Structures are given as C-alpha cells and as structure tokens.
Amino acid sequence: MKFPKTSSFSQSTMRERSMGPNPLKLCEELLGCASIPAGSVVLDLGSGAGLTSALMAREYGHTVYAADLWSDPSSNMRFFEECGLTNRRIVPLKADATALPFAHGFFDAVVSIDSYNYFGRDPNYLGECLLPFVKRGGELLFAIPGMARDCHDRLPACLLASWTPEQLDYMHDMLWWRAIFAQTEGVEVDDMHEMECTREAWDDWIGCDNEYAEGDRAAVESGALDYLNTIAVRLRRQ
C-alpha cells in the first residue's frame, strides 16, 4: 500500500514514538474508509506517544484531543510543537478511557488505534463510557489487533513464543467483536474488515530498537501473523 500522509513523518520519528505495529499506517488506512470532514473535533483514544494525533491534526486538518493514560502530556506537547502544531489544533491529556473528562456530545468522531481491545472488551464499555461523548451521526473508528479466527482453545506455539495466554486474551476475531458491539443500543456497525497493512505495520514495528519490539520479534518471525490480523471497525452513533 501507499501511505502519502504517513511519509510526511521520518522513519526515525516513527521508530522512536511507536508503541506497537506502525500506528501511522494503521491510522491512514483506517481513515481512508471514513467520512470525517476537515475541521472536525476528534478524540484520539489511547493516543500513546502522539503519532496518530499529529497525523490527524497536521495531515487531515482535525482538531484533536490526544487522550492516553500512560503517556506524558508534556512530552507529547513538545513533539506536537516540533510538528508545527499548537494547542489550538491539538490537546494532549492524561485520561482513563473508562472515565473520560468531556461534555456529552463533544466529539464529531473518535479514533482508536491499537488500543481499543484493552478497555473495549467489556460489552458495557461502548454504551456507558464512550458513546455519550460522540455527537449523533458521529463516527467511531477503531483499528483493533485481532485474530483471523479465535484459537484460544489451542494457541499455536508461534504466538506463545512472545506472549502469554493472558496477554493473548486481548485478541479476538471479527465475529467476537461483532457480538460485543451488537450489545450496545444507539450505535450502528457501518463496516468491519481485515486491514491490508497488518504485515507491513508489524514489520515496521519489529524493526524498532526497543525492548518491546524485540520481545514481539520471536512470535512474528515464527509465523504469528498467519494467525493475527488487524480489524478495521467503523461505527456510527444513531
């Protein structure tokens, strides 16, 4: 695939600030199937070190709230300023996804890259903790690390080369996620499909020089991506 917006960031920036499979490519592919107009107010939920937030603000023209529980907002703001972004375009904050500090109906859209599976597996999460903050008609876009087919009853050795069964319980297939979303009233599933850039995004990640990427390398090199995918989800608040 071609990623013209992702390519506006250097490889060194991607490697330094990635916290998993290349979030820039995942975000650009995901937004390619969205209809979020420029100037929208967007929540980047689980924004990590800010790559996807900077991408959406600088390359798509959105006003972005970069919400993450584990990243330092001051460090992220310095990065955003290096990208030419001011606090009128992008707002970093420390926030728990289960207790978001916003007014109801505040956001035109929500985007979550490689993080929704940490908190969204609770079938009550979407309706109680996230949907109220989205305007009616607004989109919710998730790139969720998943499985081509749930195999928790017999986990392949290649997956266990890097991850424990408890860690792998964060990953499920499309049928599992569709059943989760079906339990929430007031939201429509516009689309769910496997993303095309999964292998490329993982290749970029295991090429990074940090202990987390190195820890994932054994599974990927043993064939884990024959079992894993990334699930693109587009929901709409009714």
pLDDT digits 0-9 by tens, 167-186: 999 999 999 999 999 999 99
Predicted TM-score (pTM) above 0.75: yes
Give me the mean pLDDT over the 119-128 stretch: 98
b/e code 106-141 from CB counts within 10 Å (16+ = b): ebbbbbbbbbbbebbbeeebbeebbbebbeeebbbb
State the CATH architecture for 6-237. 3-Layer(aba) Sandwich (3.40)
Mean pLDDT computed over every residue of the chain: 97
Give the model's pLDDT for residue 87: 95
Distance CA 170, CA 75 (A): 28
pLDDT band for 189, please (50, 70, 90 cuts).
very high
- How many residues are recorded in the chain? 238
pLDDT band at 192 (very low <50, low <70, confident <90, very high): very high
| 28 pLDDT higher than 90 | yes
pLDDT in tens, 46-75: 999 999 999 999 999 999 999 999 999 999
Helix (H) or strand (E) segment spanning residue 77: helix 73-82
pLDDT at 204: 97
Strand positions, DSSP E, the chain: 41-45, 63-68, 90-94, 107-113, 134-147, 187-194, 228-237
With contact defined as beta carbons under 8 Å apart, do 2 and 201 qualify?
Answer: no
d(CA 160, CA 226): 14
> What Å distances lie between residue 185 and 30, 111, 134, 181, 232, CA to CA?
24, 20, 14, 9, 20
Q: What is the mean pLDDT of residues 64-93?
A: 97
Mean pLDDT score, 80-84 = 97
Please give the single-letter amino acid code of residue 43.
Answer: L
